[in-house]
Amino acid sequence: MEWEVGLTVKDIITRKKYTFPLLAVWINDSPVPRDDFNSTKVPDGAKVQIIHMISGG
Amino acid sequence: MENMKLLAEWSYEPTKAHRGYTGKTLKINVGERTFEAKDVTEDMKEKFVGGRGFGLKLLWDAVKDTTKWNDPENEIVISGGPLCGITQYPGTGKFYAVFISPLTEQTYDSNAGGHFGPLLKFAGWDALEIQGKSDKDVVVVIDGDEGKVKIFESPFEDINAYSITETLHEYFSDPNDINDRKHVSVITAGKGAEHTYWGCLNSSFWDSHRKIARLKQAGRGGGGTVFRDKKIAALVVKTHNLSGTANDPADIDTLTKVGLKLHKEIFTLDSKQCRMRTVGTPHLNEIMNEYHILPVHNYKFGQHPDADKIHSEVYGKLFTQGIADGCWYGCTLACAKAVDNYTIKTGPCKGQVVTVDGPEYETAAGLGSNVGVFDPEWTIETNFYADHYGLDTISLGTGIAFVCECYELGYITKEHTNGLELKFGNKDDILELIHRMAEGKDEFAKIVGLGIHRMKDIFAEKFGAPRDILEKIGMEGQGIEVSEYVPKESIAQWGGYFLTLKGPQHDEAWLIFMDRVNKQLPTFEDKAEALHYFPNFRTWFSLVGLCKLPWNDIEPADNATKYPPQEAAKVPEHVQNYVDIFNAVTGKNITKEELILQSERVYNFQRVFQLRLGKGTRKYHNIPDRALGPVFPDEWEARAEYYDNELKEAGVNPEELSTEEKIKKLNEIRRQQWEELVDAVYKRRGWDRNGIPTVETLKRLGIDYPDVVAVVEKHAKPEDRW
């Protein structure tokens, strides 16, 4: 994914069409709280991990 | 209702539960009309824990190696488990029914919420065995207040679930107090269960808000078919021994504290997470569609442009909001959603205004997208009739999806279907087929009700359909239909469905996100580890009487940041909750590792049980081509970029191949991967190459009973050792 100035975690999730609510995000091996997805900026060249938890019976 | 004619009666002294157990099990033979109480031994509690474990142990002792599903000695064993009936923690009202299945011809376990499991225990019984075959329809009643078990001749001409459940709640409670009906619970099946192999067990609970009896289902495996084969119209339990401490837990303070912690989590976080309290499991509808996992047209596709019509918000508006929809006391997750004031449009109940339980995700997908219908009202009506007739909505959906594809391929015509045009999306004719299945007179409907495994034989042998294509597109394993997730893009989920004890349902492992989306399981050993841990962890719920949903359909706010991703998927804090509440109820002191060990014992015991019944080896762990990948060109073209990349990653240049050649090549690659997965999983589970637990495994688990070891030694071959 192309980086751009101001890119947030939420932007990446939207572009990847990740609609599942139970996501875990790690930037450069540091976790990002879900409540901070909108405000957390992603640095250029960062290692971003987006993990889907499991749900369903 | 007129007084029922008493056929047999037996008295007992109800034993109160202590530390989660009453220490007694009840055996009723409805054919001989005999009754027996048995003691629960310490070894039974230690090795089999309760619930499904007790069911398997009692069934093992009751049947022969040659017993078939409709032999009198086959049983339905119903047991909750030591945590069943606590009210301090959400999701604690489950019972597990164990029986030899008409579909798979081996043991099956299926669970339901509602009040039956807790009331059975509080009426004095850790488990109930029902054996024998009655010569006439009967109503069996366990009265924990009087300390009596009675068998009545059924007075009902119509034994469908909604026709008799509420009547029985009323009949066995105080006529002057409608709220007294909460002390009764009823299990029913119905005419659909009688005339097909897809029979479910409906378990009732009195909804004190709506003042009606509602139904939850032990849907899978054909338990309702066994129930009706025994000519049981209804099974009733009654007791006023109902309180938050009826299990006599060892440590009520810890139980309350842990429960409160989860209640707070649910109240704070559910609206931001899965919205179980407002839309229930249909919160998955649009998510599965986004990730190409929603089954469409017999699993050909994982997405459909009309999926927005079955969006969870659509269902959320149809469900009555603002009512506590728990199916047992204390369940604040409250996902037992219902549609009130629904007017039935077809069939024998046409014109009646009813409350419909659900639909849950599996029903919304199975009797929705998978059969090409994107009309929630139709799915609600079909859900009502499935419950009423006692039919499993999952097998019904997947089975009819198979029929529709066969119809569209021209393998069956209106001549075979007696006039029904069973194309995808032809909802009127599909619903008519379901009515005919329940009625039991139409020959084609009878064939459909035998399930995909047998339909393949009949369509090929009698209708001349090509056997090879039927084998590729028939979404079943071990004789039972696949539940409602498209597995073809996740190698680990092939195992989650098809390397299971009893066939492809989703109660052992759901690994699609971990494997395909997160790429957390890159090697076969990684996948095998997941296919060891998750089936065993999830088995544990079935031993103790719990619902799985509060484990991972809600998670602590810091779960995703506190633990590394692999560990976070287990929801460690909730695992610890389960250890804590188990210890708080039973007074034991297990660890999270011992929790897995408890499951592993029962898991391997059930595997040996399948072996004893002539199954349980590698050849029964089969997988259809459609579960591995595309079968027809339009399936490939719908995800061409994805599948082309799969070939490239395997070192094959797709540009040199036609679509048919690509399908063949990818299938060859995936068949090879499947065999590698099977090997890795068997090794991790301590089984030999043929999928048989080794004697060393039985010894390690402490289940090396002489009769269990004898089964393994009879079937295991030296050349199958690793």
Q: Domain check: are B434 and B356 in the same one?
A: yes
Residues of B (58-87) whose Cβ lies below 8 Å from A: none
Would B184 be classed as within a structural domain? Answer: no
Instruction: From chain A, pick out residues whose CB is under 8 angstroms from the CB of B506.
Output: 56-57
Instruction: From chain B, pick out residues whose CB is under 8 angstroms from the CB of A51.
Output: 518, 520, 560, 565, 568-569
Q: Domain check: are B473 and B364 in the same one?
A: yes
| Cβ-based neighbours of B374, under 8 Å, separated by 6 or more | B304, B306, B307, B309, B310, B368
Would B552 be classed as within a structural domain? Answer: yes
CA distance B515 to B440: 43
Neighbours of B24 (CB within 10 A): 19
Domain spans, chain A? 9-52
Cβ pair B52, B109 in contact under 8 A:
yes
Cβ pair B129, B27 in contact under 8 A:
yes
Chain B, nearest residue to A57 by Cα: B549
CA distance B292 to B441: 39
| Cβ-based neighbours of B716, under 8 Å, separated by 6 or more | B688, B690, B692, B694, B695
CA distance B194 to B665: 44
Chain A, nearest residue to B362 by Cα: A57
Would B80 be classed as within a structural domain? Answer: no
Q: Determine the Cα angle at B60 with ends B56 and B63, to 5°.
A: 130
Q: Tokens standing for B637?
A: 């073209």
- To the nearest whole angstrom, how far is the Cα of B231 from the nearest Cα of chain A? 31
Q: Tokens standing for B708?
A: 């269990």
Strands B201-207 and B148-153: unpaired
Q: Do B555 and A53 make contact, defined as CB atoms within 8 angstroms?
A: yes
Helical (H) or strand (E) element with B477:
strand B476-477
* Local structure of residue B104 (DSSP, 8 states): T
Q: What is the pLDDT of residue B356?
A: 97
Q: Tokens standing for B304?
A: 């459909």
Task: List, for residues B419-432, the tens digit of each pLDDT value.
Answer: 999 999 999 999 99
Optimal mutation site among A18, A50, A52, interface B, most CBs of chain B within 10 A = A52
Side-chain-facing half-sphere of A22: CA atoms under 13 Å: 29
Q: Domain check: are B495 and B391 in the same one?
A: no
How far CA B251 is from CA of B89, B259, B546, B584, in Å, comes to: 14, 12, 19, 5
CA distance B304 to B308: 9
- To the nearest whole angstrom, how far is the Cα of B131 from the nearest Cα of chain A? 30
Q: Tokens standing for B51?
A: 């619930």
CA distance B446 to B436: 8
Optimal mutation site among A14, A40, A55, interface B, most CBs of chain B within 10 A = A55
User: What are the start-end ranges of the H helices in B504-629?
Assistant: 512, 524-544, 549-552, 559-562, 565-568, 572-586, 592-612, 625-628
DSSP β-bridge partners for residue B99 = B108
Q: What is the pLDDT of residue A26?
A: 93
CA distance B93 to B91: 6
CA distance B536 to B106: 20
Residue B261 dihedral angles phi and psi, to the nearest 5°: -60, -45
- To the nearest whole angstrom, how far is the Cα of B12 from the nearest Cα of chain A? 37
Instruction: From chain A, pick out residues whose CB is under 8 angstroms from the CB of B507.
Output: 57
Nearest CB partner across the interface for A52, out of B517, B558, B561: B517
Question: Residue B391's domain spans which residues?
Answer: 281-318+337-481
**Predicted complex ipTM exceeds 0.95:** no
Chain A, nearest residue to B564 by Cα: A31
Q: Domain check: are B571 and B676 in the same one?
A: yes
Optimal mutation site among B312, B521, B533, B561, interface A, most CBs of chain A within 10 A = B561
Own/partner long-range contacts of B712-717 (Cβ < 8 Å, ≥24 apart): B712/B608, B712/B611, B715/B611, B715/B617, B715/B690, B716/B688, B716/B690, B716/B692, B717/B690
What is the average pLDDT across A39-48?
Answer: 94
| Cβ-based neighbours of B694, under 8 Å, separated by 6 or more | B686, B687, B688, B712, B716, B721
Would B661 be classed as within a structural domain? Answer: yes
Helical (H) or strand (E) element with B311:
none
Longest dimension (CA), chain A: 41
- Give yes or no for residue A57 having a pLDDT over 70: no
Q: Tokens standing for B689?
A: 């190459």
Chain A, nearest residue to B515 by Cα: A52
Q: Domain check: are B557 and B660 in the same one?
A: yes
Would B431 be classed as within a structural domain? Answer: yes
Instruction: From chain A, pick out residues whose CB is under 8 angstroms from the CB of B571.
Output: 53
CA distance B337 to B642: 37
Q: Domain check: are B701 and B608 in the same one?
A: yes
Optimal mutation site among B266, B277, B287, B574, interface A, most CBs of chain A within 10 A = B287
Q: What is the pLDDT of residue A56?
A: 60
Q: Domain check: are B575 and B620 in the same one?
A: yes
- To the nearest whole angstrom, how far is the Cα of B511 from the nearest Cα of chain A? 8
How far CA B100 is from CA of A47, B495, B608, B612, in Å, comes to: 51, 23, 14, 12
Chain B, nearest residue to A22 by Cα: B273
Q: Domain check: are B353 and B496 in the same one?
A: no
Q: Do B565 and A24 make contact, defined as CB atoms within 8 angstroms?
A: yes
Query: Could you say which residues of chain B have pLDDT below 70?
Result: none
Count of residues making up chain B: 722
Task: List, for residues B10-19, the tens digit of each pLDDT value.
Answer: 999 999 999 9
Interchain contact B274–A (C-beta under 8 A): yes
Instruction: From chain B, pick out residues whose CB is under 8 angstroms from the CB of A21.
Output: 272-274
Q: Tokens standing for B560?
A: 């995703």
Q: Determine the Cα angle at B361 with ends B167 and B437, to 5°.
A: 55
Q: Do A57 and B565 make contact, defined as CB atoms within 8 angstroms?
A: no
CA distance B377 to B318: 9
Cβ pair A34, A23 in contact under 8 A:
yes
Cβ pair B195, B389 in contact under 8 A:
no
Q: Do A51 and B565 make contact, defined as CB atoms within 8 angstroms?
A: yes
Residue B470: which CATH number?
A: 1.10.569.10
Residue B604: which CATH number?
A: 1.10.599.10
Q: Domain check: are B352 and B303 in the same one?
A: yes
Q: Do B549 and A57 make contact, defined as CB atoms within 8 angstroms?
A: yes
3 state SS for A1-57: CCCCCCCEHHHHHHHCCCCCCCEEEEECCEEECHHHCCCCECCCCCCEEEEECCCCC
pLDDT tier for residue A53 given thresholds of 50, 70 and 90: confident
How many contacts does A have with B, using Cβ atoms within 8 A? 77
Cβ pair B365, B337 in contact under 8 A:
no
Q: What is the pLDDT of residue B62?
A: 98
Among B481, B512, B528, give the residue marking a domain's end. Answer: B481
Return the closest-CA partner of residue B234 out of B151, B178, B175: B151
Q: Tokens standing for A27?
A: 């930037």
For residue B506, give the amino acid letter.
H
Q: What is the pLDDT of residue B2?
A: 75
Would B302 be classed as within a structural domain? Answer: yes
Q: Domain check: are B410 and B537 in the same one?
A: no
Chain A, nearest residue to B561 by Cα: A31
- To the nearest whole angstrom, how far is the Cα of A34 from the nearest Cα of chain B? 8
Q: Domain check: are B593 and B716 in the same one?
A: yes
Nearest CB partner across the interface for A22, out of B273, B514, B520: B273
Q: Domain check: are B383 and B519 in the same one?
A: no
Optimal mutation site among B289, B518, B567, interface A, most CBs of chain A within 10 A = B518
Would B232 be classed as within a structural domain? Answer: no
Q: Do B559 and A56 make contact, defined as CB atoms within 8 angstroms?
A: no
Would B590 be classed as within a structural domain? Answer: yes
Q: What is the DSSP string of B331-343?
A: -TT----EEEEEE
- To the nearest whole angstrom, how far is the Cα of A39 from the nearest Cα of chain B? 16
Cβ pair A25, B551 in contact under 8 A:
no
How many domains does chain B contain in total?
2
For residue B272, give the amino acid letter.
K
Q: Do B510 and A56 make contact, defined as CB atoms within 8 angstroms?
A: yes
Chain A, nearest residue to B513 by Cα: A52
Cβ pair B53, B543 in contact under 8 A:
yes
